[in-house]
Amino acid sequence: MSEPTRNSAASAALAAVVGVLIILCVAASEARASQRDLTQISIEELLDVEVYSASKTVQKTTKAPASVTIVTASDIRKFGYRTLADMLRSVRGFYITYDRTYHYVGVRGFARPGDYNTRILLLLDGVRLNENVFDQAFIGNDFPVDIDLIDRVEVIRGPGSSLYGSNAFFAVINVITRRAKDFGGVEVSGEAGSHETYRARLSYGDHFANNAEAVFSGSHFDSRGNRRLYFSEFDEPGQNNGIAEGLDSEKTARAFAKLSFSGFTLLAVYSRWQKETPTAAWGAVFNKEILSMEEHALLDLKYETTLAGDLSLMWRVNYNQHPYHSHTPYDYAEPGGPPLLVTNNDLSRSRWWGTELQLNRRLFGRHDIVAGAEYRDNIQQDMKNYDIEVYTLSRSNSRIWAVYMQDQFNILDNLVLNAGIRYDHYSTVGSTANPRIALIYSPFGQTTFKLLYGTAFRSPDAYELHYEAMGYRINPSLKPEKIRTYELVWEQQIGDSVRGTAAVFSNKIEDLITLTTDPDDFLVFRNVATVEAEGIELGLEGKWESGLTGRISYTFQETKDRDTGNILTNSPRHLAKINVSIPLLREKIFLGLEEQYAGKRKTLRGLDAKASYVTNATLFSQRLVHNLEASVSVYNLFDFRYGDPGSEEHVQDIIQQDGRSFRFKATYRF
């Protein structure tokens, strides 16, 4: 039996076992129904939780003008998630590509080569995290906050430019951090895993008699990575027979503070990340160190208060900076001559500050109004690329201002119209206005239909406009890209413990910005032809009184170039996911199982990266020992061998991913 067949059979067997366990646990929970603790929150409330990011106001997910998924701190612990990328990989309609430097998120069949997650907007407690040179959203170990500090992640599908402006193209992802009450003192955590991977964290959080709260945390992550990575494209004696040795290490240091008092919240974040790249990308010398280093510093001050009547006000001001530096070795030898190794340096320096004022008020008993204004000053958007000569030296800055308004009109008790629009003005590309309209109808108490329409835009970033180095050319005629989305969502409560979701969507993208290769073999960003994407998503989520929880989803999507009819690269037609957390000892020991399937994906060379079946398992315990949590996780349990499509800068058409790995983790609260 071949390896793919053997792994497929193993995955199918595991799915069958999981199904049997679910049935047994459901039966057990029904048998214990009479023992229910009435002080616990209801199952229906657990399924229909509150969300903020969809409308910039707190509301039930069934009332939100979008299809929403929430990943909680409990999910993080029980499924052993190590990064934001791990979490998003489990979300319906999302998939992840890893090129052994950065993690990239695909949404509803769309993930373009050369895109640094610019088509999702990443927020931290409502503060924009996409930096201002590459517009990059960091979702791996480069995410600036330790994953243990996350309370929940709100994933809002669809265009969000009517509230958030550029980059809210396919989704808005708001990472909401824990409050002081979630700590209640000192918390220490440590972990160790495959590839000599270690992480340590020390946190303190508490609230005080004057209603002040404080959270402080510091953490360090260090991994040597995969020590021997084989790339067949470099398999020759002069290049170590295609083996990159000791070139996959990664380190992250993070500091975090959040202080709250009398309506004010001060958030401070600092992170430093460095990663070796073993793929010899950008034409570098193989089996030599390519090192990337990034820092992120954020300071945000927010004030919230209720004014006269039911008028509430939110004002915030923040400052960010993000320096980046990479070292890449090249061989500048003359043909037939001895090697001449030269280190190329690629740098960017980005600084920006912004402010936002938002007002919320209920009018005439049926209108919930959100109105606001935002200003962002990109003080510094500099890039430099040099070695023995300077190839890129770009110094620029820009400004953005915007106003927005949204009205949630409760036409009837079971019929809501949500309509909003935002006007943005960019000093670089001019102005744009983007609306969103949602009609939300609940004909029955447990049934909700959402008819959604919206547009979003993404302005070309400084990197796409101004970067010119070895192998790159600039394209000064780049224009913003725009998306128009139609979506129908059906959300259905099934009994007391299960909620189902079905969504049909259609996206039309115009003037898509893509990294391409021109006839002279230079990389250049262009506005390519119109892209259309259509698909359907199905999902079930269940929470039972026994402590059993589970999610299952399937997505069919087809994303293609409208002019040629060709399916886009890195776009799987099928995604299927199963997550189940089984209480082995009630409220004390849980077994978390994940099965993730992604269909085959077309590569840049017209080949196929085969479909992948990845199984993860986590055994998690709490309360066995007072104040101690412990877990052991095995990732890619059946050691399935698969690869992700490469980008234009890679020699590799398909980049192989890690096989089986493990992690031990313990957290103690004083």
Tens of pLDDT, residue by residue over 178-205, are 999 999 899 999 999 999 999 999 999 9
CB 52 within 8 A of CB 174: yes
Note the pLDDT of residue 612: 96
Note the pLDDT of residue 51: 94
CA 46 to chain centre: 23
Note the pLDDT of residue 336: 84
644: three-class secondary structure by DSSP: strand
Per residue in 573-586, pLDDT (tens digit) is 999 999 999 999 98
As a 3-state breakdown, the chain gives helix, strand, coil percent values, each rounded to 5, of 10, 55, 35
Residue 219 buriedness (CB in 10 A; 0-12 / 13-18 / 19+): buried
Per residue in 19-55, pLDDT (tens digit) is 433 433 333 333 333 333 323 445 555 567 899 999 9
All structural domains of the chain, each given as residue ranges with its CATH number in brackets, are 3-669 (2.40.170.20)
State the alpha helices, DSSP H only, in 130-204. 161-164
CB 317 within 8 A of CB 332: no
Note the pLDDT of residue 535: 96
Res. 469 pLDDT band, cuts 50 70 90: confident
304: three-class secondary structure by DSSP: strand
Note the pLDDT of residue 475: 86
Q: How far apart are CA 510 and CA 527, in angstroms?
A: 8
Residue 92 buriedness (CB in 10 A; 0-12 / 13-18 / 19+): buried
